[in-house]
Amino acid sequence: MRRIEILIALLSTAFVITLWAPISSWHSPILLLLALALALIERRARIKEAAHHQLTAKVFDTSGNGMLISDKNNIIVAINPAFSAITGYAPEEIVGKTPKILSSGRHDKAFYHALWQALETQGMWQGEIWDRRKNGEVYAEWLTINTVKNPRGEVTHYIAIFSDITERKAQAERVEYMATHDTLTGLPNRALFSELLNKSLADARRANEHVAVLFLDLDRFKIVNDTLGHGVGDLLLDTVADRLRAATRAGDIVARQGGDEFIIALPRLATQQDAALIADKIGNALNHPCILAGHELHLSTSIGIALFPEDGADATTLLKNADAALYRAKAMGRNNFQFFTADMNSNTAERLALENALRRALERQELSLHYQPQVDLPSGRIVGAEALLRWQHPEWGIVSPARFMPIAEESGLINAIGAWVLTEACREAQSWSAPNDYSSVAVNLSAVQLRQLDLVNLVEAALTETGLAPARLELELTENTIMRDTAATRSAFEALHALGVKFAIDDFGTGYSSLTYLRQLPIDKLKIDRSFVADIPQSADASAIAATIVRMGASLGLQTIAEDVETQEQYDWLAHAGCHQAQGYLIAKPMPAEAFRALLAKQSAPI
């Protein structure tokens, strides 16, 4: 190729020279060479043009993008193999037709009008479009259309290039869905809920309507997870989601906050009563038992309600206030709904401060145990003590258990606190040991602790660490706690009883226990509730109930103990009725460990 270029240059020089020479000096060989040079130049141009066309055809045939060429009337004149692979149409099936054969029907006339207007004014159009394959399947594509014009500016062809983006679009939608929806129930998550709620609030402002926000959780859902496993728990949450959808209206927004918490927005409400009616409907829907994995589960829910515009003007405030109302519903005994009131915010702030302080109380050694003596009624001798938790806050002073124990249970702190109480009580009781001293220590267990999967190991570890004999540890549970989850209770009781640990039912006579079931549990003691003890012997009814409990305990081979004994009359009546033990202010108030040890030492001292 290089030699041809040199030859052309020489011939061109020779041609220039001949222009200055007389015509007579021209010779036919030079003319021949000039003709040859021109032919070579023309041939080279044709070769380059053919190579360009060949390259263009190769790109057209091998491109992974679908290509379509139509004439100025939009009649298809050519397609490439990728077009056939994507659409399913062979060349003979589509050449001669218009691209309308691919129409999905998803786009209106305005869409195509804008497309053609862009082609006419700008010479190209680009965007996302839905087309239909030969098999009828609709797919998404990214399409670019260019207008081809001749030198006179007249449209001769249209060239369309597209790629199938269906899977990529579906993947993007899946990612977006996962970012805005709960994967278990398919409900919107809190982020999407807040977005939808704010839109509803904007509509409500314009229409002067009310919107209610409901914050709810399932009562004692943790029992299901702890006893039946998270698989059944997930099935239960999915069932709850279905029932919430069914119990709400077409336009209401149901979302999952997380765990067993759900949030619901009720737009277009005329009055507060409308929110109450729907909340009641939701409660009734969840109260129906459901059968999951062979288990019959009974549900209930606590609901807090905040109203727009009365209780907040934005999603964040309404959710916060509905959450505060939810805590009030729990405090009112669960399985109910409560509307937000202004004083709930101060209660919520106090609760949060208490919870944060309680989290630090253990590490700061602010918690301690006091011991209230328990005596043998016939002899008056101390036979044990009940360990009672005390919290001495450096700024607030003594914080009542009635204030912090519900928070400890709801926050889960009760597990760590309960473990400390158990170990500390066992360690203290072991320090009481003396020859022939078998005094026991009673430790209260909450319903949350009873559901701990490692409760048995926890008790066994405390006994091993402190060296306390299992028979000297007595665990107290209320009657209602025992009956709340009979399967878990029986399993834990049997395992702990096998260790030699004793059991007492606290507040006996105030619950709704089944005597048949109680007979099946390894119970050692019944504790007569203070409400009966306070009224004996003056009240015939209270006296009759207390006497019945004593006789029933005796017939079942159980000991009985009366709490809150404050008068000598009560003490004497209980001793005469056959009650075995008593505790209360008449005998002694709860006292620090060192004071109780001194009391025991005084009792053991020789007369």
For range 181-191, the mean pLDDT: 91
Provide the domain limits for residue 68: 63-170
For range 375-400, the mean pLDDT: 92
Name the more confident of 66 and 345.
Answer: 66
Kindly report which listed range (77-86, 342-351, 430-439, 555-564) carries the lowest average pLDDT score: 342-351
For range 530-538, the mean pLDDT: 90
pLDDT in tens, 214-264: 999 998 787 787 777 888 889 999 999 999 999 999 999 999 998 899 999
pLDDT of residue 563: 93
CB-based contacts of 595: which residues, under 8 Å, 6+ apart?
Answer: none
- Please tell me whether residues 486 and 600 are part of one structural domain: yes
- Please tell me whether residues 161 and 217 are part of one structural domain: no
Instruction: Kindly state whether residue 357 falls inside one of the protein's structural domains.
Output: no
Does the pLDDT of residue 23 top 50, yes or no?
A: no
- Please tell me whether residues 372 and 283 are part of one structural domain: no
- Please tell me whether residues 77 and 46 are part of one structural domain: no
Instruction: Kindly state whether residue 352 falls inside one of the protein's structural domains.
Output: no
The CA distance from 106 to 153, in Å, is 34
For range 510-534, the mean pLDDT: 77
Kindly report which listed range (37-41, 134-138, 207-211, 516-520) carries the lowest average pLDDT score: 37-41
For range 6-17, the mean pLDDT: 48
Asked if 399 and 393 touch (Cβ cutoff 8 Å), the reply is: yes
The structural domain count of the chain equals: 4
pLDDT of residue 607: 43
- Please tell me whether residues 71 and 46 are part of one structural domain: no
- Please tell me whether residues 153 and 188 are part of one structural domain: no
Q: Is the peptide bond before 373 cis (omega within 30 degrees of 0)?
A: no
DSSP calls for 324-392: HHHHHHHHTTSSSEEE--THHHHHHHHHHHHHHHHHHHTTTT-EEEEEEEEEETTT--EEEEEEEEEEE
- Please tell me whether residues 328 and 379 are part of one structural domain: no
Instruction: Kindly state whether residue 392 falls inside one of the protein's structural domains.
Output: yes
Q: Kindly report the pTM of this predicted structure.
A: 0.53
Instruction: Kindly state whether residue 346 falls inside one of the protein's structural domains.
Output: no
Q: Is the peptide bond before 401 cis (omega within 30 degrees of 0)?
A: no
pLDDT in tens, 288-317: 888 888 878 888 899 999 999 999 999 999
The CA distance from 83 to 94, in Å, is 10
CATH code of the domain containing 435 = 3.20.20.450
To which residue do tokens 């009624």 refer?
377
- Please tell me whether residues 160 and 190 are part of one structural domain: no
Instruction: Kindly state whether residue 349 falls inside one of the protein's structural domains.
Output: no
- Exposed e or buried b per residue across 349-388, where buried means at least 16 C-beta atoms within 10 angstroms of its C-beta: eebeebeebbeebeeeebbebbbbbbbebeeeebbbbbbb
pLDDT of residue 487: 63
pLDDT of residue 239: 93
Instruction: Kindly state whether residue 350 falls inside one of the protein's structural domains.
Output: no
**In terms of DSSP H, where are the helices of 432-454?**
447-450
The CA distance from 176 to 179, in Å, is 5
CATH code of the domain containing 208 = 3.30.70.270
- Please tell me whether residues 256 and 290 are part of one structural domain: yes
Identify the band that residue 494 occupies on the pLDDT scale cut at 50, 70 and 90. confident
- Please tell me whether residues 209 and 237 are part of one structural domain: yes
For range 355-365, the mean pLDDT: 86
436's torsion region: left (phi>0), alpha (psi -120 to 50) or beta?
Answer: left
pLDDT of residue 20: 47
- Please tell me whether residues 280 and 402 are part of one structural domain: no
Partners of 147 in the β-ladder: 158
